[in-house]
Amino acid sequence: MTESPPVNRYSQPGIYPWGRTLIFVFAIFLIQVIVRGAEYGFTIVATEMDALIAVILSVYLLWLANNLNLKLSHAISLIGLEVLIVMFLNNIAEAVFFTDLYTKPVELAASIGFALLFSVLVTFASAIVYFLPRAEYSLWGNIKNRLSEGSKGGWVLRLVLTGPLFFGVYFLFGLIVSPFVTPFYNDPSLGLKIPAFSVMIPVEILRGYIYGIVLLPLIVSLRFGKLYSFITVSMMLFVLGGLVPLIDAPLPEAIIPYHTLEILGDSLVFGYIVMWLYKAR
């Protein structure tokens, strides 16, 4: 009788044991409560929002950790880097020009400091769930291997294109929701503003370049096929770059659904573009 070949349990995303999953969710919740409370103060409503953020963020980070084909230290470092840049720094850069949140340098510095603290704590917490058997792949090795698949000029061109392409996608979906959100941005009492195009265009192109750079190490380190990679990249942009910051942002509730749909569209389209530019397998 012929034996059946062994089943590769890790050929597609798996399910984490409940124990580690719950510990991880609770750890993310504590990190969110502590860091947000230290920055803005503790309230019951804020704690409820922290719980919602913890669940959403944990679900995505569990998915991400199970998709990375890296050694432990490189995997959790990449997770922390993506959280810091996608969830915080790239949004802070936009908030400087679209809101009145950072009228003083000390406010901006404090926000960046809390972002660093949150990201470092999440990096260590990610080690809780990054436990499935891994090949000992290096992040730097993955990047070098992918860059070797094309010419230097070709890669420079791809990176150069990410900024303008991001702005094009951003402007398109912004235009779609503008009839619903512009009145709020024109109300000075809400602390929102729409900068001149001479400011908006370079800021958003720069944000596109930042996304293009930070998504490259992520894409080359994913261990499943194109569909899983597309979900991972697009949801990185949507969950970390949009949904979680929107829940936590001091915005009028009326515009949050429109911005959520806008950012979802941005994330799906730009995620696909970046996957195509980097020829994700």
16 Rama class: left (phi>0) / alpha (psi -120 to 50) / beta: beta
CA distance 56 to 49: 11
Q: pLDDT 10s digit of each residue in the chain, 281 long?
A: 444 333 333 444 555 567 777 888 889 999 988 988 887 777 777 788 889 999 999 989 988 888 888 888 888 899 999 999 999 999 999 999 998 888 889 989 999 999 999 999 999 888 777 655 555 788 898 889 888 888 888 899 999 999 999 999 999 999 999 999 999 888 888 888 888 999 999 999 999 999 999 999 999 998 877 888 899 999 999 999 999 988 888 788 889 999 999 999 999 999 999 999 987 54
Confidence (pLDDT) at 102: 87
CA distance 263 to 242: 6
CA distance 94 to 185: 14
This prediction has a pTM of 0.86
Separation of first and last alpha carbons in the chain: 38
Cβ–Cβ under 8 Å, residues 20 and 128: yes
Cβ–Cβ under 8 Å, residues 233 and 219: yes
Q: What is the rounded radius of gyration, in angstroms, for the C-alpha atoms of the chain?
A: 20
CA distance 11 to 8: 6
Counting beta carbons within 10 angstroms of the beta carbon of residue 231, is it exposed (0 to 12), middle (13 to 18) or buried (19 or more)? middle
β-bridge mates for residue 68, sequence order:
222
